[in-house]
Amino acid sequence: MGFLSNLFGPSVPKLTATDVNEKLKFGKHPLIVDVRQPDEFRQVHIAGAKLIPLNELRKRMKELPQGREIVCVCASGSRSRSAAKILAKEGYTVFDMQGGMQAWRRMKFPVQKG
């Protein structure tokens, strides 16, 4: 790894909410990993998303499939970027959804509650 990768972690590809919606509808059906807190997740989340709060990610990483694309999601994109870097460093194929659930809801894509 280069100096910047060591300093900031690996670079992670970003996807827009529209990109993620398209992948879920027509693509490889990535696993959506929501890294918000349980109360945020219960209020609203992407259907089928797996909740793993950012502070639990390192110890729960084994729950995630190595051979499947993973998209990290949070409220606005900050926590998901951190989560995606952690997973990328461990060899996962991972993307960061820009703008998080705020962007998803702004596009009026389907959500689930509970």
Q: Which residues are part of the catalytic machinery? A: 74
Tokens of 64: 């995630």
| 3-state secondary structure at position 79 | helix
For 91: left if phi > 0, alpha if psi spans -120 to 50, otherwise beta; the answer is: left
